[in-house]
Amino acid sequence: MDDFQQLSKHHRDVVKASTAFIYAILVSIAMNYFWTPGHIYSSGITGLAQLFNSLMSKFLPFELSTAALLFLLNVPMFIIAWRSIGHRFTMYTFLAVALSSIMIKVIAPVGLTHDPIICAIFGGAVNGFGTGTALKNGISTGGLDIIGIVLRRKTGRSIGTINMAFNSIIIVAAGFVYGWPYAFYSALGLFVNGRVIDMTYTRQQKMQVMIITSRPKTVIDSVQNRIRRGVTIVHNAEGAYQHDDKTILFTVITRYEMPELKAAMAESDPHAFVSISDTVKILGHFYEPKP
């Protein structure tokens, strides 16, 4: 058993390290192939690093590369993560950011196109897929992700407002540095980036599940053995067609857990009626695994 747990832990470490490397390649492609040629700013700390690089090149006799600034601006985030979130989480965050800085510097910029609309859309899509993949596999890309996790743990609130305010500053800065059309192009890139993250990072997408079954105990046992979710039971339901006794079960899962739910239902009651709908908002406790 200990050998199995050790092997499983080693496998998770390899997956996370590989994901950090994949993210680093994708963000460097987004930066060097699309954002830089198209004068597009990214979101969060990456966008801030781009902004500082632009301002230094205009107003200072020296400049630091975007790659170097990306790493330096994340150093305070590493300290916050180490103290407030966890050491292993911080190590993988450090790895993702360090590899990103290295790959942005190593991969030579290629001007595939200078069309700002194309650069905004494809840069946002490539980076969004990389960020979503990283989050899906339990690693952070640094920056505002860390502040968001700390705030959510301490207050239960998301970082959405801070993210919007921070990114608004970057969009306005793009207007001042490159011209106001580029502010709108950067906003387009941020929108695409966010949408692709949402499509990729399925752990944050909540879904309400209603199960109508004649085998409630078997279904509950199977679901809870596979997914750490509470289930609410409504007894004494009746089917209108045959007037047979039914039980209604309610639970909320993430889209990431959908395959486990399907497997649980196939195992426990293949004939149950299952209705699944997107959940807009949840009030109360909803278990989220620690990163």
pLDDT for the residue 258: 87
Predicted structure pTM score: 0.76
Q: Where in the chain is the domain with CATH 3.30.70.120?
A: 205-278
| Residue type for position 168 | S
Q: In this structure, which amino acid lies at residue 257? A: E
pLDDT by residue (tens digit) across 218-240?
999 999 998 888 899 999 898 88
- Phi, psi at 213, each rounded to 5°: -145, 155
pLDDT in tens, 22-53: 999 999 999 999 999 999 999 889 999 999 99
Q: Side by side, which strands form the sheet with 273-278?
A: 232-238, 245-254, 206-213, 273-278
Q: For the CA atoms of 48, 25, 99, 79, what is the dihedral angle to 10 degrees?
A: 40
DSSP code, position 253: E
> Per residue in 252-280, pLDDT tens?
988 878 889 999 999 999 999 999 998 66
From the centroid of its chain, how far is CA 71? 20
CATH of domain 205-278: 3.30.70.120
- The residues, any chain, with a CB within 8 Å of residue 78's CB and separated by 6 or more, are 90, 93, 94, 97, 142
- Whether 143 and 43 have beta carbons less than 8 Å apart is answered as no
What is the C-alpha separation between 216 and 64, in angstroms, rounded?
A: 62
pLDDT at 213: 94
Asked whether the beta carbons of 40 and 186 are under 8 A apart, the reply is: yes
pLDDT of residue 291: 57
Q: How confident is the model at residue 4 (pLDDT cuts 50, 70, 90)?
A: low
